[in-house]
Amino acid sequence: MGLTAIQVRAAKPGERLLDGNGLRLDVDQNGNRSWIYRFTSPTSGKERYMGLGSASEIGVEDARELRNEARRLVRQGIDPIDNRNAQKLAAKIEATRSVTFKEYAEQFIGAREGTWRNAIHRQQWRNSLRDHAYPHIGATSLPDIDTAAVLSALRPIWTTVPETARRVRGRIEVILSAAKAEGLRTGENPALWRGHLDQILTKRSKRDVVHHPALPYAEHPKFMASLRGDNSDSSLVLQFIILTAARYNEGAKVVWEEIDKRSKLWTVPAARMKGKRQHVVPLSEAVLSILSTAKERTGGAGLIFPGLKPGRPLSDVAITKAIRRHTTLPATTHGFRSTFRDWAGDMTTFPRDVCEQALAHAVVDETEAAYRRSDALAKRRLLMDEWAAYCKSKG
């Protein structure tokens, strides 16, 4: 004989009343009554407790029917709690099926772009998805995006613009992972590379990597001699970038506060470094001479190499034009780092890690990194002095 409606209403705080076949009535200390079904999970073999609802809303007969439904699932080898959770998730996904990839991607970018300090990076996210993902999967609902859909966006650009394709794939993967975390889709990420798309799409070989055109170091002294005869601001900043083996973003945006003339050091803040680590550059006499010239032009405050617009550095375009004025050979601002590295490797006896640290490259080998904790500043100073001397030589 099970519980009666009167017994249910009369149950006191703290009581647990059994109805039979795993159904019981629990009353908490506040007098709230709820139905519980106790069972052994057919999938895990563990005892579990399934809430069936409040006794104030569900009568004893209805509670027994809910218990019986759960018991039928157990007999079929189905865990009723897992089954209920799966149904809730399926209903949520069905309710959000109208959310398209483009709609969610725009929301995703909008919510996170405030943390991306690089304006170019923010624009690249939007442009790359607009040009290469949205035309193929933009109107597709999030749960319906599968491997075939992702491949439809990647295959047209995979071999023609491989670097862009790689970034688009990664951005699709991140967006779909976020959607899954929010319960808007289930299953494996169809944009996953390792163990998935890497089995379908061709892998890039080292020969596929596009390098920045670099001036051969044998031609470099001749180029530098011509550059020194150019009195333009773009020539001055280019000489600074070359002599310090810096990237454009590091060298063109240098401010006077980063320069320590007494110690002959330039400290590049982590925020402007590609690897997001502070980098210290020893300054040769040739670089100090360039800084003296720049100080005469700017007064020694703010940007060392300001452009035409207030607070903005000289553009990479202006520097590229300076390169074109002094050589007909293929060369880029970034390519002079390769010129420096080739010269250091072929023409000097400095250790490889010293040359790599001069370029602010992280030491790849973990064992080497463990033993090479210093930045070899003294050796790098000698290296940069030799580089300055080579840049001023006849080759």
Q: Which residue has better confidence, 281 or 346?
A: 281
Burial of 357 (0-12, 13-18, 19+ CB in 10 A): buried
Average pLDDT, the chain: 88
pLDDT score of 18 more than 50: yes
pLDDT of res. 366: 44
Short-list 273, 245, 265, CA closest to 335: 245
Whole-number Å distance between alpha carbons of 266 and 374: 17
pLDDT of res. 361: 81
For residues 64 and 2, is the Cβ–Cβ distance under 8 A? yes
Least confident of 77-86, 155-164, 281-290: 155-164
294-348 pLDDT, tens digit per residue, is 999 888 788 999 988 888 999 889 999 999 999 989 899 999 999 999 898 888 8
Torsion of CA 19, 22, 28, 31, to 10 degrees: -30
Q: Where in the chain is the domain with CATH 1.10.150.130?
A: 101-208
pLDDT of res. 117: 67
pLDDT > 90: what percent of the chain? 57
Does domain 101-208 correspond to CATH entry 3.40.50.300?
no
pLDDT, average across residues 373-389: 86
Distance of CA 310 to the CA centre of its chain: 31
20-73 pLDDT, tens digit per residue, is 999 999 999 988 999 999 999 999 999 999 999 999 899 999 999 999 999 999
Q: Is the dihedral of CA 318, 322, 328, 331 positive or negative?
A: negative
Whole-number Å distance between alpha carbons of 2 and 310: 85
SS in 3 state form for 331-342?
CCCCHHHHHHHH
pLDDT score of 207 more than 60: no
Does domain 5-95 correspond to CATH entry 2.30.30.140?
no
71-123 pLDDT, tens digit per residue, is 999 999 999 999 999 888 777 766 666 789 999 999 999 998 878 766 767 78
pLDDT of res. 245: 94
The H or E element spanning position 77 is: none
Alpha helices in the chain (DSSP H): 5-10, 60-75, 80-95, 101-112, 119-128, 134-137, 147-154, 162-181, 220-228, 233-244, 248-251, 285-298, 316-326, 335-347, 352-358, 366-371, 377-392
180-206 pLDDT, tens digit per residue, is 998 888 889 999 998 999 999 987 654
pLDDT > 70: what percent of the chain? 92
pLDDT of res. 374: 53
Whole-number Å distance between alpha carbons of 100 and 134: 10
238-280 pLDDT, tens digit per residue, is 999 999 999 999 999 999 999 999 999 999 998 898 888 899 9
Q: Where in the chain is the domain with CATH 3.30.160.390?
A: 5-95
pLDDT score of 161 more than 90: no
CATH number for the domain whose boundaries are 220-392: 1.10.443.10
pLDDT score of 369 more than 60: no
pLDDT of res. 98: 74
Burial of 115 (0-12, 13-18, 19+ CB in 10 A): exposed
pLDDT, average across residues 159-163: 82
* Paired residues of 255 in beta bridges: 303
pLDDT of res. 121: 73
